[in-house]
Structure 1
Amino acid sequence: MTEKSAPSPGLRLFDLLEVLVREGRALTLAEAVATSGWPKPTVHRMLAQLEAGELLLREPDGRRYALAPRLLRLSEAALAGSTQQGVRHAVLRQLVADVGESCNFTALSGSEVLYLDRIESAFPLQLNLRPGTRVPIHCSASGKLLLAHLPAAQRNALLDGLPLERHTATTLTTREALDAEFKRIRKDDYSVDAEEFVEGLVCVAVPVRGPDGQGARCAVALQAPVARMSLAQAIEKLPRLQEAAQALARTWG
């Protein structure tokens, strides 16, 4: 196919999926047409094909198209597979060697945080959270970080549908407390888990920027039992975490 050749119908479907993923929210037919710039009959036909293939689904109102579980599983498997080898895995392994505690590389997946990769410390006391593990978004350092950097409308829509379950005595379970935390995270450019998910476990997370250097495409975090490292000591590792985040960001190409 030459550079000027029209993309195949299959590739056009992927182009439309990219439009929906880039928008970061469910779209109506009219919104998909406006965003893609393609004719309405074409977009309608493509949305129907993607829905039939279980890559998109209709929201309860029947008007908006959202990413379906099949597509999310595919994207997660691709991300997880790419982090098990190569530069990103090596960056994470070196980070663990330098800070002496377990570190993970995570992304937002629906209403949860997905572990794309994780290296455990050499200590016998470990939590053993494997790649593919999902953790709550409102009480994990990575989750709060990724939430803080979402557009306000998208963040509010996500939190509106979540039960803010209490996991420990320090879990933030009100929107007011979380909003204040998000403001601090955006100001300080890091997030903490002060034993909010698992009692006796602390975590510090920093953003891995997108190709444009903005927002938080993913997160890299240090996690340790307080018996070995206090939260204050974990925060002291921020410069090294930020170096690793910059190295991971460069792998986006």
Structure 2
Amino acid sequence: MKSGPRTKATDASPEETSAPRRSRVSGMDRALQVLDHLYTSGEPAGSYAIAKAVGAPLSTAYVIIDELVERDLLSRRPDGLVWLGPRLYHYGLAYARTLDFLGEASHVMHELGREIGETVQICGRDGDHMVVLAMADGPGHFRVMSEVGTRVPLNWTASGRLLIGHLPDAERIAVFKRSAKASPTERAMTDAAALSELAEEAFKKRLSIQISETDFLVSCVASPICDASGACVATISIVLPEHKVVANPELYGKAVCDASEAIERKLGWRKR
């Protein structure tokens, strides 16, 4: 009697023939495991204890911990134990300020939107770009293309110029030299020296206006939000049709400047 066809080992599926693979943990993941362990335990620990807690080879833990100490993300005590470092403290303070800032700024943003009847944005700097941090749509049919998270080159917008207006001239020029790009409407200035001069002037006036530089028939009126040191940390801006700004720049300029000052007062950055 003939037996049935034999199945060769090579016919088996990969799941049946391949040995279980060990997942490789990246250096970033290991660093986060170390930080998370210390945060969760709430007390300093030695390298051996940390390696055992996170399931990492001792040699790997030593390397990761040394690198974190070198970067001030961890601090090593005289007894050899390590704890969370000063750099994390500064990150935490910056994050907390951001939460406070956006909360207060959003209230003013919505108030301004209701008062002026137009779209209002809070914008910040992300390297060589301006980024929309918060936005309140106006009640009318006019809508802007940018949404929260939108990033555009600093030279395209009124807010972008303000965000580096407090910097020294040489630093402003360096930023614009590497980042200035032609806008879709081809109306945005790209000359670094001229942009630096405009940024300084707008920052001193606490008012920047751009007309149709990014989108046709769309304008922006912005004012800086400055911290206690005088640095521009964000802007509040009104985005509206070009003809409205041309017809009444004083109205929108005063409204946005009053709003930026209100935010600064709420955060204790401006004397009443």
TM-score category by the smaller chain? Answer: 0.5 to 0.7
The equivalent residue for 1:177 is 194
Deviation at 1:49, TM superposition (A): 6.5
Query: 1:166, 1:88 → 2: CA distance?
Result: 28
Aligned counterpart, 1:33: none
Distance in 1 separating the partners of 2:97 and 2:254: 29
Distance 2:95 2:158 in 1: 20
Give the Cα–Cα distance (whole angstroms) in 1 for the partners of residues 257 and 154 of structure 2.
Answer: 21
> What amino acid does structure 2 have at the position aligned with 1:218?
A
Instruction: Give 3-state SS (helix, strand or coil) of 1:96's partner.
Output: helix
Superposed displacement of residue 160, structure 1 = 2.9
Which shows bigger deviation, 112-121 or 128-137?
Answer: 128-137
Structure 1 residues 80, 113: CA separation in 2 closer, same or farther (over 3 Å shift)?
A: farther
* Equivalent residue runs for 1:184-199 within 5 Å: 184-199=201-216
**Which digits, 9 at most, give the CA deviation of each residue in 1:151-181, with x for residues without a partner?**
3343233223224223324211212431332
Give SS of 2:142's match. Answer: coil
Deviation string for 1:169-196 (max 9, x for gaps)?
Answer: 4211212431332243144221111211
The whole-number CA distance in structure 2 between the counterparts of 1:232 and 1:216 is: 28
Gap runs ≥5 in structure 1: 1-9, 11-42, 51-71
2:56 maps to which residue?
A: none
> Are positions 1:220 and 2:243 aligned together?
no
Instruction: Say if 2:129 and 2:151, in contact at 8 Å, map to a contact too.
Output: yes
- The question of whether the paired residues in 1 share the 8 Å contact of 2:157 and 2:213 is answered with yes
Work out whether residues 112 and 120 of structure 2, in 8 Å CA contact, stay in contact via their aligned partners in 1. Answer: yes
SS in 1 for 2:175: helix
User: 1:234 deviation in Å?
Assistant: 3.9
Correspondence for 2:263: 248
TM-score, length-scaled by structure 1: 0.63
Counterparts of 1:1-253 in structure 2 under 5 Å?
46-48=69-71, 79=98, 83=102, 86-212=103-229, 214-226=230-242, 229-253=244-268
Closer, same or farther: CA 45–87 of 1 in aligned 2, 3 Å: closer
Give the TM-score of the pair, scaled to structure 2. 0.59
- CA deviations 1:128-148 (Å, max 9, x no partner) are 532222122101010011122
Distance 1:77 1:224, change over 3 A: farther
Aligned pairs, how many?
A: 188
**What fraction of aligned residue pairs are identical, expressed as a percent?**
23
- Cα distance in 2 for partners of 1:140, 1:113 equals 8
Runs of 5+ consecutive residues of structure 2 not aligned to the other structure: 1-34, 36-65, 74-90
Distance 2:185 2:125 in 1: 22
Shift of 1:47: 4.1
Larger radius of gyration: 2
RMSD: 3.2
